[in-house]
């Protein structure tokens, strides 16, 4: 029976240096040769995932932007769920007025305003309650994404009539993140956190779980034949959609409690351990 394996990216498939280990890459390729359908499910944009794939010559389905996009292994967008324009405008207008760092994510680029980098630097200088080294790593992660473009005025994105799949907020100030969540939260929107210090806003129907169910239906794969593995709270909808739920060794306690078992950490190649158990060593 064909299996569909959904794998989270940061904290799961990636190590602490935000790269894919050769063991993880090789084990995925072996699982694919055995007939498994592999999907990377992440808050990142698909083109950023492809940048990571390139070094290891990988190809897979990609659920990006926390379920707002799904791409086939050839890179074709198949199941889009863009933000409603009226909501996207409200969100970015408020963020700009309140001097938040934010990213506007389309299917081709990540747009930031020309003062965005300085906003992150200013927060790092002001905020005392967060670890300085962790803030530095978070800043490098955000600014190291693929296809980032600076613009003078965020309205240029709307004038170009581009579909917006996600707006990402990064703040090192816990209170500012809470205020943003309280202000921008709506019934027609989903808010996720996929990394320290960030918040991601997508369409209300978008989640890794919803996208995984639609992909499974497209591939005619039943829930019992879906395996999902993750480490963070935004992985819970994806794990709920799977017949076999696996937590990383570095997962939060809530994720571990929701799963059938816990594998090794991302630094210990926990995805490879899971694929060996669930795909490569199985006789069926």
**What is the set of active-site residues?**
8
Backbone φ and ψ for 6, nearest 5 degrees, come out as: -100, 125
Which tokens go with 180? 């943003």
Q: For residue 73, which of 38, 108, 42 has the smallest C-alpha distance?
A: 38
In the block, tokens 């990216």 appear at: 9
Q: Are 183 and 145 in contact (CB under 8 A)?
A: no
CA distance 200 to 141: 15
Give the angle 55-166-21 at the CA atoms, nearest 5°.
20
Q: For residue 55, which of 2, 85, 91, 18 has the smallest C-alpha distance?
A: 18
CA distance 168 to 197: 11
Backbone φ and ψ for 186, nearest 5 degrees, come out as: -140, 160
CB count in 10 Å sphere of residue 175: 10
Which tokens go with 145? 């994404």
Q: What 3-state DSSP class applies to 201?
A: strand
CA distance 32 to 38: 7
């Amino acid at each position: 029976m064909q299996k569909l394996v959904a794998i989270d990216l940061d904290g799961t498939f990636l190590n602490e240096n935000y790269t894919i280990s050769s063991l993880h890459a090789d084990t995925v390729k072996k699982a694919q040769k055995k007939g498994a359908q592999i999907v990377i499910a992440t808050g990142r944009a698909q083109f950023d995932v492809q940048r990571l794939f390139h070094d290891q010559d990988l190809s897979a389905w990609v659920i990006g932007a926390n379920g707002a996009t799904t791409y086939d292994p050839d890179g074709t967008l198949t199941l889009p769920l863009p933000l409603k324009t009226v909501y996207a405008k409200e969100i970015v207008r408020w963020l700009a007025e309140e001097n938040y760092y934010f990213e506007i994510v389309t299917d081709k680029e990540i747009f930031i305003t020309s003062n965005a980098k300085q906003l992150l630097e200013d927060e790092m200088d002001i905020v005392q309650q967060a670890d300085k080294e962790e803030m530095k790593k978070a800043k490098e992660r955000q600014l190291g994404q693929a296809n980032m473009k600076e613009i003078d005025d965020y309205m240029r994105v709307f004038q170009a009539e581009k579909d917006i799949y996600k707006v990402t907020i990064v703040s090192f100030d816990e209170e500012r993140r809470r205020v943003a969540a309280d202000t921008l939260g709506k019934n027609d929107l989903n808010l996720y956190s996929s990394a320290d210090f960030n918040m991601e806003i997508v369409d209300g129907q978008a989640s890794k779980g919803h996208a995984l169910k639609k992909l499974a239906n497209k591939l005619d794969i039943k829930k019992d034949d879906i395996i999902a593995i993750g480490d963070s709270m935004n992985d819970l909808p994806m794990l709920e959609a799977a017949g076999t739920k696996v937590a990383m060794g570095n997962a939060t306690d809530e994720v571990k409690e929701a799963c059938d078992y816990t594998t090794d950490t991302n630094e210990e190649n926990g995805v490879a351990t899971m694929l060996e158990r669930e795909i490569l060593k199985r006789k069926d």
